[in-house]
Amino acid sequence: MCGIVGYTGQLQAAPVLLNGLKHLEYRGYDSAGIAVLNDGAIEMTKTSGKVDALIEKVQEIGGMPGISGIGHTRWATHGVPNEVNAHPHLSQDGRFAIVHNGIIENFAVLRKELEDKGVVFRSETDTEVIVQLLGIYYEGDIKKALLRTVSRLEGSYALGVLSSDEPGTLYAARVASPLIIGIGAGENFFASDITALISHTKNVIDMDDGEIAEITPDRITVFDHAGREIKKEERYVSWDVASAEKNGYDHFMLKEIMEQPASLKAAIEPRIRAGAIVFDELDLDMKKYDRVMITACGSAYHAAVVGKYLIQKLCRIPVDAEVASELRYEDAVIDERTLAIVISQSGETADTIAAMKKCKDAGASVLAIVNVVGSTIAKLADSVIYTWAGPEIAVATTKGYTTQVAVLSMFAVWAAHETGRMDEALFKKMTADIRLIPKLAQRALDLNARVKKLAEKYHDQPSLFFIGRNLDYAVCLEGSLKLKEISYIHSEAYAAGELKHGTIALIEPGRLVVALCCYEELFDKTVSNIQQVKARGADVLAVAPEGNRRIFAEANASLPVPRTDPNLVPVIEIIPLQLFAYYVAKRNGCDIDKPKNLAKSVTVE
């Protein structure tokens, strides 16, 4: 959570840092701050609230001159989000300022130790122990003091350090939190991710765990934990500047919903050759596995549930989908005959990383489905399928999720063919159907105006249900989460057949039930459940394939989605639900791209 950025070069640092923080705000937005070196002294401006509040504050004081500095946007873990707890934090002697993303697990012990030495803490944060340690250990060599400091830390960190003793030089360090160095001409940067830097450079160095970097305008030197210089590869980032901007849309979320035909094409097309699905990146012998364990968090977990239904059905192999925060502490049966599939847009989610390590330790092969290239999960996995969704800025995932589902669908079909469970004719037919998904997604987006009207009608529901069976149920999980996380309306996803076992007591006249009916194998069963809730006065909004007259006669309102193979419905079916959540939240005046209490990249447990 939290985003960090650093700049050293010839430009004024403050505008570069503030612009970088705007692009990192999706990582956390409850307080923010920057520190700039001006005439050999560290000057800081901090505020509670969003980066815009910080920008205003910097303008009010007439700007902050200086050509090197560091910045931070926060998602509070230790201490309330006020100005004092906002980063950067200063060492007692004012010589060092630090920004930090991550959690220092042994901070209480370190704080006590430092207080016993007479250090007076200003904030309640875990971060402050880092900068105070640095101040104590410093004897004229920052690199040495930083290495000693990080050797004392337990937990996760991406750190940026500014010092009045070395104008123009920044230091950065990482363990288990994302950190890249941006390479410019006569200027260099660090940041939590490329979106903060993309308007300046696309050439980056990925920092690995245990490394520290010394960054001047002309030189970047990376050292290992023992202080030995190491050679790092440069990486060129293919994302373009426009993809990290709103481009005329009111919100990143709407832009990203609308981008789905393009992102799905990027995920699908390169993997289809001569009418067959090809994963050049995989070297897996699918026959080796007698079990698949899929793990992830949040929406990525909902994609995992789709994957479970599909892989199980098409490959005839037992598949579990487990929430990563549960799997990491479970006594699950995993061994070398298990294929663990780990799904993550950011590739940095702490629980997912822990669950993945657990699977690896138990002998499983780990396949990661990830969007962010070079992320921790991508690096730790045995093999990676990138989703190629491009940068996703809105906190609520849309194209991140649909590209995950598209890749899982392709994987299920590919694996079924590899293991001899799917004959050539069906393989070719399903491949052709998958190829059509981007076009169908575009047609699903044509429901935009209709969804907007429905959102107008139903925006003031106090609570609602999403019901469906099998793949429809998997999509209910995601449709319900989308609505609640950005509109703050309570909603529940229910397996349609389960409602009558208790929860139906909550159905009352006027309550909206969104019924997903695209998985046609179980259509009649879902219709019975629709009749049950209608009999109790509920309003039913049906999402069903175009031309399905029966369902549209049953429901109070409907969203007809383009027809496809029933196994491929989730990608298409979720699109009107994303739009529904978006327009309900917009109608209710919610902060759509930055919902309260959330952050996009959840790097804490």
- Which stretch, 29-37, 269-277, 298-306, 570-578, contacts ligand F6R (CB under 6 A)? 298-306
Active-site residue flag, 586: no
Q: Which is nearer to ligand F6R, 76 or 304 (by Cβ)?
A: 304
- Which stretch, 231-239, 346-354, 452-460, 572-580, contacts ligand F6R (CB under 6 A)? 346-354
Q: Which is nearer to ligand F6R, 125 or 346 (by Cβ)?
A: 346
Binding residue for ligand F6R, selected from 298, 479, 545, 570, defined by CB under 6 A: 298
Closest listed residue to residue 192, CA positions, set 558, 498, 599: 599
Residue 177 makes contact with ligand F6R by CB under 6 A: no
Closest listed residue to residue 526, CA positions, set 507, 504, 549, 554: 554
Binding residue for ligand F6R, selected from 73, 163, 325, 397, defined by CB under 6 A: 397
CB 112: neighbour CB atoms within 10 A?
A: 11
Binding residue for ligand F6R, selected from 70, 267, 297, 367, defined by CB under 6 A: 297
- 3-state class of 271 per DSSP? helix
> What is the C-alpha separation between 209 and 69, in angstroms, rounded?
23
CB 428: neighbour CB atoms within 10 A?
A: 16
Residue 342 makes contact with ligand F6R by CB under 6 A: no
Residue 375 makes contact with ligand F6R by CB under 6 A: no
Residue 352 makes contact with ligand F6R by CB under 6 A: yes
Binding residues among 453-482 for ligand F6R as defined by CB under 6 A = 481
Q: How far is the CB of 348 from ligand F6R (least distance, A)?
A: 7
Out of 2, 315, 359, 590, the active site residue is 2
Q: How far is the CB of 17 from ligand F6R (least distance, A)?
A: 25
How many residues of this chain interact with ligand F6R, rule: CB under 6 A? 14
Beta bridge partners of 97: 90, 162
Q: How far is the CB of 378 from ligand F6R (least distance, A)?
A: 12
How wide is the angle at C-alpha 402 spanned by C-alphas 337 and 433, nearest 5°? 85
How wide is the angle at C-alpha 216 spanned by C-alphas 208 and 179, nearest 5°? 25
Question: Residue 293 phi/psi, 5° resolution?
Answer: -120, 115
> What is the C-alpha separation between 70 and 13, in angstroms, rounded?
8
Closest listed residue to residue 318, CA positions, set 332, 297, 302: 332
Residue 396 makes contact with ligand F6R by CB under 6 A: yes
Sign of the alpha-carbon dihedral angle for 329, 331, 333, 334: positive
Binding residues among 79-108 for ligand F6R as defined by CB under 6 A = none
Residue 344 makes contact with ligand F6R by CB under 6 A: yes
- Which stretch, 2-10, 38-46, 234-242, 342-350, contacts ligand F6R (CB under 6 A)? 342-350
Active-site residue flag, 2: yes
> What is the C-alpha separation between 349 and 346, in angstroms, rounded?
7
Q: How far is the CB of 377 from ligand F6R (least distance, A)?
A: 8
Residue 346 makes contact with ligand F6R by CB under 6 A: yes
Concatenate the DSSP letters of all residues of 202-231 into one string: SEEEE--TTEEEEE-SS-EEEE-TTS-EE-
Concatenate the DSSP letters of all residues of 361-392 into one string: HTT-EEEEEESSTT-HHHHHSSEEEE------
Q: Which is nearer to ligand F6R, 201 or 397 (by Cβ)?
A: 397
Closest listed residue to residue 571, CA positions, set 450, 440, 385: 440
Binding residues among 586-605 for ligand F6R as defined by CB under 6 A = 602
Pairing of strands 229-230, 220-223: antiparallel
Sign of the alpha-carbon dihedral angle for 487, 490, 494, 500: negative
Residue 295 makes contact with ligand F6R by CB under 6 A: no
What one-character DSSP code corresponds to residue 598? -
Q: Are 67 and 189 in contact (CB under 8 A)?
A: no
Residue 34 makes contact with ligand F6R by CB under 6 A: no
Q: Are 404 and 392 in contact (CB under 8 A)?
A: no
Pairing of strands 41-48, 31-38: antiparallel
- Which stretch, 2-10, 61-69, 263-271, 297-305, contacts ligand F6R (CB under 6 A)? 297-305
Q: How far is the CB of 206 from ligand F6R (least distance, A)?
A: 17
Q: Which is nearer to ligand F6R, 163 or 345 (by Cβ)?
A: 345
Binding residue for ligand F6R, selected from 349, 365, 491, 603, defined by CB under 6 A: 349
Q: How far is the CB of 599 from ligand F6R (least distance, A)?
A: 9
Q: How far is the CB of 588 from ligand F6R (least distance, A)?
A: 17
Residues of this chain that bind ligand F6R (CB under 6 A) = 297-300, 344-346, 349, 352, 396-397, 481, 485, 602
Which residues are identified as catalytic? 2, 600
